[in-house]
Structure formats: structure tokens, C-alpha cells
């Protein structure tokens, strides 16, 4: 049921926002695609490309419903019926996906974080990841690997130029 990052990045998708800190702060284990229940003014703001996912995370309540918390969609100034900027929004997931997310959070101490927000076929979607928090030394290792990769890429470019 889980989707890989490559699968969810299709040409028909229109990216709204990406949480770039997630891959640095967490080690991602598995990703899910979830629909998002929104109000009209929220959809308009998302179509304009306004969303902040930096503090967004997913919670599963006692009734096995998934909710995204901390996601910020700015208020539409001229809307007759506006919305709260950081309100809790319901996620549309299959029951077995919600059960899996809940069990992995409770049993394995994982965190469900929002990786990105996008439109697919006119519908607002979130990519949610089950992740483990990284320690400080793990983050240093990620930085080292990224720098090594950049240096190798630059060396290859230099070889091709000469």
C-alpha cells in the first residue's frame, strides 16, 4: 500500500510545498499518500502555492481517524468565509493504512510527518512519512555524505570539460 517517493512524483502532479527539513531531521522508513479535507478558501490558497509544512505532523485519534496538525495555510484576505490558519485537518486514508500508522507510532516509537503537499488530478494530497528522529551524530553523517556526493559530481564535471 505504501508508495515510494519516485512513484508519487509524476508529471501530472503539481507541487505546492515541500518540507525539506524532514529528510535531514528524520530517517524515513515508509511513505503514504493521503487526501486532505479542506474548506474552499484553503483550496484557493493552495492553488496559489501557499502552504507551510515545517511543523506539520500526523496524529491518529481513538476513533482511528488521522489528522494533520501544525500545517499552516495562510488566510485568504478577501474570503467571505475564511478559515483558521493552523487548524487541524482530517486526512483521508484507508482503514488499514491508519491502523498501520497507529501501530508503528505506538509500538516502534516512530513519528508521522508531512513530507510534501501537491495536487493530483485536481485533488489536494499529502505525502506522509513514518520516520525515526535522527541523533546529532546521524545528522553530521548525512551532511558528510551530501558533501562527498557534491565533490564527486563536481570532479566528474571537471573531467568531462577537459
Expressed in angstroms, the distance from the first to the final Cα of the chain is: 48
> Which are the contacts of 70, defined by CB distance < 8 A and separation ≥ 6?
55, 56, 57, 86
Kindly provide the b/e burial profile for residues 92-107, where b requires at least 16 CB atoms within 10 angstroms of the residue's own CB: bbeeebbebbbebbee
Nine cell digits for residue 18:
515541500
| Residue-averaged pLDDT of the chain | 85
Q: What is the pLDDT of residues 133-151, one digit of tens each?
A: 877 777 788 888 889 999 9
- Residue 122 pLDDT greater than 80, yes or no: yes
- Which whole number is the average pLDDT over 44-60? 88
Share of the chain above pLDDT 70, in %: 90
Higher pLDDT, residue 101 or 5:
101
Q: Is 0.75 topped by the overall pTM?
A: no
- Residue 114 pLDDT greater than 50, yes or no: yes
Q: What is the pLDDT of residues 30-48, one digit of tens each?
A: 999 999 998 888 888 888 8
Question: Where are the domains positioned within the chain?
Answer: 5-135
Nine cell digits for residue 37:
479535507
Nine cell digits for residue 95:
482503514
Closest by CA to 73, choosing from 103, 107, 117, 110, is: 117
- Residue 11 pLDDT greater than 80, yes or no: no
Can you say whether the dihedral through the CA atoms of 68, 24, 3, 132 is positive or negative?
A: negative
The CATH number corresponding to 5-135 among 2.40.30.10, 3.10.20.30, 3.20.20.70, 2.40.280.10 equals 2.40.280.10
Q: What is the pLDDT of residues 92-106, one digit of tens each?
A: 999 999 999 999 988
- Residue 9 pLDDT greater than 60, yes or no: no
- Residue 111 pLDDT greater than 70, yes or no: yes
Q: Give the model's confidence band at 107: pLDDT under 50 very low, under 70 low, under 90 confident, else very high.
A: confident
Amino acid at each position: 500500500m505504501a508508495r515510494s517517493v519516485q512513484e508519487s512524483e509524476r508529471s501530472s502532479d503539481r507541487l505546492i510545498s515541500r518540507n525539506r527539513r524532514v529528510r535531514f531531521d528524520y530517517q524515513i522508513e515508509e511513505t503514504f499518500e493521503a487526501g486532505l479535507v479542506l474548506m474552499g478558501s484553503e483550496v484557493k490558497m493552495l492553488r496559489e502555492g501557499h502552504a507551510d509544512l515545517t511543523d506539520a505532523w500526523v496524529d491518529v485519534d481513538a476513533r482511528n481517524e488521522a489528522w494533520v496538525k501544525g500545517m499552516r495555510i495562510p488566510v485568504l484576505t478577501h474570503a467571505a468565509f475564511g478559515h483558521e490558519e493552523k487548524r487541524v485537518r482530517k486526512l483521508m486514508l484507508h482503514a488499514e493504512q491508519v491502523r498501520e500508522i497507529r501501530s508503528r507510532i505506538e509500538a516502534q516509537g516512530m513519528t508521522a510527518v508531512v513530507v510534501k503537499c501537491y495536487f493530483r488530478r485536481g485533488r489536494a494530497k499529502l505525502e506522509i512519512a513514518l520516520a525515526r528522529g535522527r541523533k546529532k551524530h546521524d545528522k553530521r553523517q548525512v551532511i558528510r555524505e551530501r558533501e562527498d556526493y557534491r565533490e564527486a559530481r563536481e570532479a566528474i564535471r571537471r573531467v568531462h570539460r577537459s
